[in-house]
Structure 1
Amino acid sequence: MSWNYFALFAIIALLLWGSGAFAAWRNKRPVVVYSFTLLGLAVFFSFIVAMWISLERPPMRTMGETRLWYSFFLPLAGIITYSRWKYKWILSFSFILSLVFICINIFKPEIHNKTLMPALQSPWFTPHVIVYMFAYAMLGAATVMAIYLLWFKKKEVDAHEMDLCDNLTYVGLAFMTLGLLSGAVWAKSAWGHYWAWDPKETWAAATWFSYLAYIHFRLGCPSKYRKALVGLLISFLLLQMCWYGINYLPSAQGVSVHTYNLN
């Protein structure tokens, strides 16, 4: 499968996700929402699988390829959230965020080849990236909820709405922890040590501790909603640095083994 077909698959998936989000917003039957959203996920995932087969490696090496997975996991996180808590607007936000990442990939295409450095040929490569991308999607959904509660909700925040942020963060942090642990095992087999304070690892640790601090703050100060939500937004900013911000840090240039190939 050539990357030239990405726009076609992406547009079809976006139309389906948009239809699912519209159906949810208009309070249509859940089966309609699920049908559109899941069909869109199937279309998009079929492209990922086809790229995987074509490249003869997991499409996870470049920044554009990680955006591919993030674009897929956002609607997945959205439909999970909708299924559990019935927030009808969550699919609209996940659709918009996926649209942004897909547009970046369409208008800023990257070179995708079969080259994969020896360290990335580890069996830990695929599960490590997948659990991290799913964690990022869940934490992104928590951030969307935090933004809604801080700036768009007209009434006071209630405990039920904070539970949604908490539960999304719990799931996201759990998968992030799995990502850290699998990365450590991978590093041990590839480079002989579990942790090296590489710039990526440093930001990953800062991000993990930040979300852990949010959870402890919520448990210790359950009534201080706004401070907790601000902390959640700060954590997401740290996550952005951990994901792609390190590519632009001078300290990571030519040193970090974790910087994505931007070409």
Structure 2
Amino acid sequence: MINWDNFIAFAIVSIILWITGAIFALRSSSESKAAMGFTVCGIITLGIFITGLWVFLQRPPLRTMGETRLWYSFFMGIVGLLTYVRWKYPWILSFSTLLSTVFVIINLMKPEIHDQSLMPALQSIWFIPHVTVYMFSYSVLGCAFIIALTGLLRHKEEYLHTADNLVYAGIAFLSIGMLLGALWAKEAWGNYWSWDPKETWAAITWMGYLLYVHLRLFGKTRKKTLYLLLILSFLALQMCWYGVNYLPAAQQSIHLYNRNN
């Protein structure tokens, strides 16, 4: 039976496979198939653990921060691979592997109690699609963040076009996730939006990426400014995801699920 006690084995195998894939990607374009193969195997390994944990818990592993970090690492591997396949940047797998590995290591260093119960607020048809769509959007925007960091150093025009495509996809999924969250909030708490700290930071994040899209479509903004905007927006996303939990004002948030809401 796969449970949290088995995570270290799956984590180590996934990380080794991802790192091996990244090394092959950096070596030469002729070894792209090997890079993709190892990366896919790493994604599958983590996917098997998530599936097994789902079966063990008898609920979707989406409740705790540790569980959402699992999904982020999983989707980050997928988005990094898709970006590598589409744009052939040999370094992208190294950065996506780094981000995935960081969140896997956080889970190893900070284990959580994963029980089978779901509080009433989470027993909703909107729960699974809202969180999974959000995690996927976070992963896509994470790749946009990687491109922005690289663009600041290398100043290639193609990086900005790549960032455009990632942001357009990421903000589309982010918007869908927010809509699903609003429907869930209406069902669970009676209001579509309450402007609690998490929702406020979600709006800040969304507006940051919308500003980037606006500037790209209608403005003539310097590339450096656009890259910095993407970096700041991603930092706001991190604040929305987990940083807000450390704010005193967030302790009464309806989005804290470590108590019965």
TM-score (norm 2): 0.95
Q: Which moved more, 1:57-66 or 1:27-36?
A: 27-36
Q: CA deviation at 1:115?
A: 1.7
Q: Provide, for residues 3-57 of structure 1, a one-character-per-residue CA deviation record: whole Å limited to 9, x for no partner.
A: 1110101111111111111111112433212211111111110000000010011
Deviation (angstroms), 1:59: 0.7
Say yes or no: does 1:8 pair with 2:5: no
Aligned to 1:247: 245
Match of 1:159 in 2: 157
The equivalent of 1:19 in structure 2 is 20
Counterpart contact for 1:21–1:33, Cα < 8 Å: yes
- 1:52–1:58 Cα contact (<8 Å) kept: yes
Q: Structure 1: how far apart are the matches of 2:91 and 2:80?
A: 9
Instruction: Pick from 66, 82, 87 the counterpart of residue 80 of structure 1.
Output: 82
Unaligned regions of 5+ residues in structure 1, if any? none
Secondary structure (helix, strand or coil) at the match of 1:29 reads helix
Deviation at 1:198, TM superposition (A): 1.7
1:13-162 counterparts in 2 under 5 A? 13-27=14-28, 28-150=30-152, 152-153=153-154, 157-162=155-160
Query: In the aligned structure 1, how far is the partner of 2:156 from the partner of 2:96?
Result: 23
Give the C-alpha shift of residue 221 in structure 1.
2.9
1:180 aligns with 2:178: yes
| Residue aligned with 2:139, SS | helix
- 1:92 is displaced (CA, Å) by 0.4
Alignment TM-score, normalising by the size of structure 1: 0.94
TM superposition shift of 1:222: 4.1
What does residue 226 of structure 1 align with? 224
1:222/1:259 Cα in 2 relative to 1: closer, same or farther (>3 Å)? farther
- The question of whether the paired residues in 1 share the 8 Å contact of 2:196 and 2:253 is answered with yes
Q: Is the 8 A contact 1:246 1:259 kept in 2?
A: no
The residue identity in structure 2 corresponding to 1:96 is: L
Segments of structure 2 that go 5 or more residues without pairing to the other structure are none
SS in 2 for 1:77: helix
Whole-angstrom CA distance in 1 between matches of 2:123 and 2:55: 15
Deviations 1:103-142 (A, max 9, x none): 1111111111112111101111111111111111111111
- Matched with 1:256 is 253
Partner in structure 2 of residue 199 of structure 1: 197
Asked whether the 8 Å contact 1:200–1:258 carries over to 2, the reply is: yes
